[in-house]
Chains A and B, each alone.
Chain A
Amino acid sequence: MRENVVVRTVSRLFVPFIQLFALYVIVHGASGPGGGFQGGVIFATSFILLLIAFGLPCVRGRFGRSWIRAYAAGGIIIFAGVGLTCILFSGNFLEYAAIETALGIPHLQTLMIDIVEAGIGITVMAVMTSIILDFVGKEEEEPL
């Protein structure tokens, strides 16, 4: 499989489209079917396709361990940060309406929900990729 030109070429062509579709699903979450969990998993599938076609070192080179950890924690920090920002505007934790009334900008809640969805997507993407890479890495160093 690793030497197959067709698989490699098609995978290389598909990866950006899969990632674009994943971002669309995340951003579209507020106005249609979709959301952070689904989009994050779709984004992770692009790395799984890279893994199948190009092998573990290629994916590790593009998305290293420290980056995966940073993204996994960063998504939660974004989510919790939005919640804490609501407290700064004298609302409850994750009460987006407080920011909207404080700043007087209409439809700000939709933006807040999009940011939260993006945070969810980042964490889910990083965790899914991390789990797959850990399993594959374990299997390659000691074959079952």
Chain B
Amino acid sequence: MFGRLNRSALVAVIFIGIILIWAAEDMPAYGDPKAPANEYAAQMYIDRTPADIGVDNIVTAILASYRGFDTLGEVVVVFTAGISVLLLMRRGEGQ
């Protein structure tokens, strides 16, 4: 059932899975008030968004303004995915 390629892929997936689970052990528990993200970053955004940006939705303020460059990159990733599908699906067609 498993070819050579599939078996090596299975080994790679299990290996990477073990590493990821091992790394997840060190992550803070969900909603932990002592976690670095909850200790000062979240409160800072809540405090500063009305004065800095004046937008009601703090998520949008972070997404579009504080982390605007990151979002630009995300949109480029979406665009690249679409272009890749376009190129793969139309492969072999005469232009």
A binding-site residues for B, Cβ under 8 Å:
29-33, 35-36, 72-73, 75-76, 79-80, 83, 93-94, 96-97, 106-107, 109-110, 113, 116-117, 119-120, 123-124, 126-128, 130-131, 134-135, 137-138
Contact = CB atoms under 8 A, between A and B. Distances in A.
Contact of A94 (B57, B72, B76, B90): B72
Given A30-B57, A32-B56, A113-B60, A76 B85 contact: no
B86 A130 contact: yes
8 contacts: A29-B60, A79-B72, A94-B65, A94-B68, A109-B53, A127-B81, A134-B89, A138-B89
A58 to B, nearest CB: 19
> In terms of DSSP, what is the predominant structure of the interface of chain A?
helix
Nearest to B52: A97
Contacts of B64: 29, 35, 113, 116-117
Given A76-B79, A137-B89, A109 B54 contact: yes
Contact of A83 (B52, B72, B86): B72
B69 interface: yes
Contacts, number: 93
B82 A116 contact: no
Contacts of A75: 75, 79
B12 interface: no
